[in-house]
């Protein structure tokens, strides 16, 4: 029986245990230059020391136009490489594999940065019409992801993760309601996956076989079968690791058994694990806040790894409690609107309790 303490090989990298930190953006940490700050360094150092086997650094923009806002970290320029080296060193000093998530907002782009772009000319959430990318523009966008991956490798990252869910650009290509194309990038699951799959192939060619390539992919958008077909294309292209979350659509409620100690989104990873078992490692995510539930998923062979977000924001040492290295931890309060970080007048109550 697999235990949470057991190591796993992912993309040729030995991950010391089955606990990973999911990418969670620190919106008020970066400046307009998109560079790593001391706040970023301290944040990731604490989580590296806390016991995670793998850390995925937050969503990082591949172009200035693809940012969430002016305080969004980037890897669109060589001048941004240097700051990442300290994050990487702190992770490696703690025997933590570290990758970085690469992203472009696409049609959800901030209007401060110009025209919204995406696979098709659809209306954006703020009432604009997105520009549908031409074939040449698609290739240029793919090249931006590849260039960012090359910078990540130069900085010393063990690999990258493509942000392929939560309604951002790669996800927009696989969603039928935002991809209305009739060319080679639209229609079938194979065609809708082509944008992301070609990025993976190009990164593999430029960064080599020893560079870990992960995709945080949509587990159902809305159909599980369609999402798995998309993921198959990513794997064929060279994806080493599937970290499964969700897009933006409704999910079939029957995909989860209400008696299990995990929720609907987490169940998507369970279904992916069953499909890709022994081929590609799969990670589950979402509301994994209890050590016993995490151990249940691993020990019952329902997933290869677990992605933790709020649990390690609330307490960086939470993984030690899961691993049996610590008796207690500060639990996430599950606030209706997460109080960690900016955009709120309040402070995370779990963090305040931990610091008291």
Counting other chains too, the contacts that 314-320 makes at CB distance below 8 Å and 24 or more residues apart are 314/340, 314/348, 314/350, 314/351, 314/354, 315/50, 315/350, 315/354, 316/46, 316/47, 316/49, 316/50, 317/50, 317/51, 318/50, 318/51, 319/17, 319/19, 319/50, 319/51, 319/52, 320/50, 320/51
Q: Of 179, 123, 152, 150, nearest to 60 (Cα)?
A: 152
Q: Please choose, from the candidates 39, 34, 50, 59, the residue with its C-alpha nearest in 3D space to the C-alpha of residue 91.
A: 50
Residue where the block lists tokens 């150092």:
45
- Whether the CA torsion 104, 109, 110, 116 is positive or negative: it is positive
The single residue listed with the structure tokens 């060619």 is: 205
Per DSSP bridges, beta strands 54-61 and 97-103 are: parallel
- Set 157, 168, 234, 262: catalytic member: 168
Of 306, 324, 233, nearest to 266 by C-alpha is 306
User: What is the full DSSP assignment across 185-242?
Assistant: TSSSHHHHHHHHHHHHHHHHHHH-TTSEEEEEEES-SS-HHHHHHHHHHHHHHT--EE
Indicate if 168 belongs to the active site: yes
SS3 (DSSP) at 350: helix
Distances in Å between the alpha carbon of 175 and those of 62, 108, 186?
A: 21, 14, 10
Residues marked active site are found at 168
């Amino acid at each position: 029986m697999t235990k949470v303490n057991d190591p796993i090989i992912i993309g040729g990298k030995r991950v010391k245990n089955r606990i990973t930190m999911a990418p969670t953006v620190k919106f008020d940490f970066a400046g307009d230059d998109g560079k790593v700050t001391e706040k970023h360094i301290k944040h990731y150092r604490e989580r590296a020391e806390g016991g995670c086997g793998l850390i995925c650094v937050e969503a990082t923009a591949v172009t200035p136009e693809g940012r969430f806002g002016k305080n969004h970290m980037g890897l669109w320029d060589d001048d941004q490489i240097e700051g990442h080296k300290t994050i990487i060193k702190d992770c490696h000093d703690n025997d933590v594999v570290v990758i970085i998530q690469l992203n472009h907002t696409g049609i959800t782009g901030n209007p401060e940065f110009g025209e919204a772009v995406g696979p098709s000319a659809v209306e954006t959430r703020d009432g604009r019409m997105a520009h549908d990318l031409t074939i040449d523009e698609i290739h240029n966008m793919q090249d931006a992801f590849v260039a960012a991956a090359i910078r990540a490798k130069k900085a010393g990252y063990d690999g990258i993760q493509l942000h392929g869910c939560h309604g951002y650009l790669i996800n927009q290509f696989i969603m039928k309601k935002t991809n209305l194309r009739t060319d080679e990038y639209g229609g079938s699951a194979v065609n809708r996956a082509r944008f992301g799959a070609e990025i993976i192939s190009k990164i593999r060619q430029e960064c080599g076989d020893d560079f870990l390539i992960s995709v945080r992919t949509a587990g159902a958008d809305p159909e599980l079968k369609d999402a798995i077909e998309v993921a198959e294309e990513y794997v064929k292209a060279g994806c080493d690791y599937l970290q499964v979350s969700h897009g933006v659509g409704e999910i079939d409620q029957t995909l989860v058994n209400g008696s299990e100690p995990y929720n609907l989104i987490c169940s998507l990873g369970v279904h992916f694990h069953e499909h890709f078992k022994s081929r590609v490692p799969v990670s589950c995510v979402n509301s994994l806040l209890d050590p016993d539930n995490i151990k249940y998923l691993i020990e019952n062979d329902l997933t290869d790894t677990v992605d933790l977000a709020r649990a390690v924001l609330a307490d960086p040492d939470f993984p030690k409690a899961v691993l049996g290295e610590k008796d207690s931890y500060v639990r996430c309060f599950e606030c209706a609107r997460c109080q960690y970080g900016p955009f709120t007048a309040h402070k995370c109550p779990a963090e305040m309790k931990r610091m008291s």
